[in-house]
Amino acid sequence: MKGLIFDIKEFAVHDGEGIRTTVFLKGCPLRCVWCHNPEGLSPRRELYLKQNGCLNCGLCKNPCNHPECQGLGRCLHICPKNLVSAAGAEWEAKALAEKLLKHKDFFNSMGGGVTLSGGEPLLQADFCVELLTLLKGQVHTSIETSGFASAEIFQKVVTLCDFVYMDIKLADAEQHKKYTGVDNKIILENAAWLKQSGIKHTFRTPLIPGITDAKDNFDAIECLVGNSAWEHLPYNTLAPVKYPSVGRVFTDNQAMGMRALDN
């Protein structure tokens, strides 16, 4: 089956053990106010317009006949500054597995592998299952997930992975809803299952000033995590930069970490 991918990053060193290829799956049900991957939020292919260097020549706005440009509102091929692209490309799981396995020997000799990230990979669970099944036993696989999925979907996907990175962003239900847009009940239930599953895993908390880094939150997450590994991820201060490229607004309020404003 096909999956929608918005980036494939080779030689990644921050997405798990060793040197890896990270596959970024498009679409996320959360709307974290600090999200630094706005091009991963929508589950649909969309226009990605780099903001710096535009000549305002208007060439990209002229109608064109390229099938791949239809519906985007711009031509992908005419910009003299190469500023126009699409976020999201369809991949057959088999073709993607073949591409990833070309580096199998390298991954295995260097202790690396493949990481599924996003967006939220569990939003394309069937695609993940097919891809992970094709990779299983050949290359080390990790997943980076918010854990926001039904228990059935969560367990089906993570049991195919060699390692799971799962976020616990905020322990308090109301705070979680306020800053990520969703309730954390299902996330905490999946975290509890993961802890006793025998699957290698690490919980992660992004350090968002004034939101997740409060002592109350840290103490509560420490309790939830128990004996599992737990790491803290630094806030990506470049988060606002990409929002205009996909027609979204990173508001002043978001910049202050006060509340989400999204479409």
Whole-number minimum distance, CB 26 to ligand SF4, in Å?
10
Q: Give the number of residues in contact with ligand SF4, rule: CB under 6 A.
A: 23
Contact (Cβ atoms closer than 8 angstroms) between residue 145 and residue 121: yes
Contact between 54 and ligand SF4 (CB under 6 A)? yes
Contact between 28 and ligand SF4 (CB under 6 A)? yes
Rounded Cα distance, 43 and 49, in Å: 18
Rounded Cα distance, 166 and 231, in Å: 10
18 preceded by cis ω (within 30°)? no
Binding residues among 144-203 for ligand SF4 as defined by CB under 6 A: 146
Residue with tokens 């109608």: 63
Q: Which two tokens stand for residue 89?
A: 């490309």
Looking at 10, 11, 13, 57, which residue binds ligand SF4 (CB under 6 A)?
57
Query: Which of 35, 232, 211, 214 lies closest to 117, judged by CA?
Result: 35
Using the contact rule CB under 6 A, the part of the chain among 53-61, 102-110, 207-215, 254-262 near ligand SF4 is 53-61
Rounded Cα distance, 51 and 101, in Å: 35
Q: x/- binding map, residues 132-151, to ligand SF4, per CB under 6 A?
A: --------------x-----
Residues that bind ligand SF4 (CB under 6 A): 28, 30-32, 35, 37, 40, 54-60, 78-79, 81, 83-84, 118-120, 146
